[in-house]
């Protein structure tokens, strides 16, 4: 390996020879002259190795764990703003179930080439209805502190029961969101990640809620 350079041997020779500095320098002269090149080769080798390892780790994280995405649109304001950058955890739902209140990323059921981001409101078996903007889950009004009063609309949605392996999702900006009120519940097979952390703009850096 590149780490086995003449440099450690040179240091040992000097220490072993002690006061005979002149004779030691003469005996190992060629190694000293070649040392900068060896050190350069070693430096490049280590740098290249570290770069390859870093790229491999980054690729693994992006492909299997976290994916950086850009939010486009205003349907999740104020939680997520247009052009905000976030990390999506693509592995978390292998370890835990999707929960009510999670902000999930999924393939749009009517065009799987597109991805949407919404909040989970109802899970399989839940009875969901919306009365003049107020959401009811299993007959009880849902507390939604993430929806400011100015973002509530007056839409009414008749009661449905969320199908098996599916989720009812809504955008936080109710008057600007295309969601389960329009395309129905989303099958779990379409959901591929959970929004977990915002990293841009800097003032919004932190856990996505």
Q: Are residues 54 and 111 in the same domain?
A: no
pLDDT tens for 168-180 read 999 999 999 999 9
Lowest mean pLDDT among 29-38, 41-50, 71-80, 109-118: 29-38
70: annotated active-site residue:
no
Q: What is the mean pLDDT of residues 65-82?
A: 93
Q: Are residues 93 and 53 in the same domain?
A: no
Decide if 146 is inside a domain.
yes
Considering only residues 27 and 205, tell me which one the structure prediction assigns the higher pLDDT. 205
Output the pLDDT for position 37.
57
**Does position 1 have pLDDT exceeding 70, yes or no?**
no
The candidate with the shortest Cα–Cα distance to 169, out of 89, 96, 100, 86, is: 100
Paired strand residues for 207: 197
**Does position 207 have pLDDT exceeding 60, yes or no?**
yes
Q: How many CA atoms lie within 13 A of 38 on its CB side?
A: 14
Decide if 1 is inside a domain.
no
Decide if 29 is inside a domain.
yes
Domain membership of residue 25 as a residue range: 6-65
Q: Are residues 55 and 90 in the same domain?
A: no
Phi/psi for 62 (5° steps) reads: -70, -40
Average pLDDT, the chain: 82
75: annotated active-site residue:
yes
Question: Taking a C-beta distance cutoff of 8 angstroms, is the pair 146, 77 a contact?
Answer: no
Q: What is the mean pLDDT of residues 58-84?
A: 85
Considering only residues 50 and 110, tell me which one the structure prediction assigns the higher pLDDT. 110
Q: In which residue are the tokens 């080798």 written?
A: 45
Output the pLDDT for position 62.
57
Q: Spot the catalytic one: 79, 90, 118, 166.
A: 118
Q: Are residues 115 and 155 in the same domain?
A: yes
**Domain harbouring 143, CATH code:** 2.10.109.10
Q: Are residues 60 and 76 in the same domain?
A: no
CA–CA separation, 169 and 188 (whole Å): 11
pLDDT tens for 11-28 read 222 233 333 323 223 334
Output the pLDDT for position 48.
78
**Does position 160 have pLDDT exceeding 80, yes or no?**
yes
pLDDT tens for 81-130 read 999 999 999 999 999 999 999 999 999 999 999 999 999 999 999 999 99
Question: Taking a C-beta distance cutoff of 8 angstroms, is the pair 104, 195 a contact?
Answer: yes
What is the chain's length?
209
Output the pLDDT for position 102.
98
Q: Spot the catalytic one: 23, 58, 70, 75.
A: 75
| Number of domains forming the structure of the chain | 2
Q: What is the mean pLDDT of residues 24-45?
A: 53
């Amino acid at each position: 390996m590149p780490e086995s350079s003449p440099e450690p041997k040179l240091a040992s020779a000097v220490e072993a020879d002690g006061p005979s500095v002149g004779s030691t320098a003469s005996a190992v002269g060629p190694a000293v002259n070649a040392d900068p090149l060896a050190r350069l080769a070693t430096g490049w080798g280590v740098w290249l190795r570290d770069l390859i390892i870093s790229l491999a780790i980054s690729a693994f994280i992006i492909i299997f764990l976290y994916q950086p995405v850009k939010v486009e649109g205003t349907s999740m304001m104020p939680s997520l703003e247009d052009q905000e950058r976030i990390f999506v955890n693509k592995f978390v739902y292998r370890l835990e179930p999707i929960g009510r209140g999670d902000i999930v990323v999924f393939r749009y059921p009517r065009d799987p080439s597109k991805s949407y981001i919404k909040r989970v409101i109802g899970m399989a078996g839940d009875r969901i209805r919306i009365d003049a903007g107020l959401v009811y889950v299993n007959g009880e009004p849902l507390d939604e502190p993430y929806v400011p009063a100015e973002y509530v609309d007056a839409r009414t949605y008749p009661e449905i029961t969320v199908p098996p392996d599916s989720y009812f999702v809504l955008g936080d900006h109710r008057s600007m969101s295309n969601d389960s009120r329009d395309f129905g519940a989303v099958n779990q097979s379409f959901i591929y990640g959970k929004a977990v952390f915002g990293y841009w703009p800097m003032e919004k850096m932190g856990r996505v809620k």
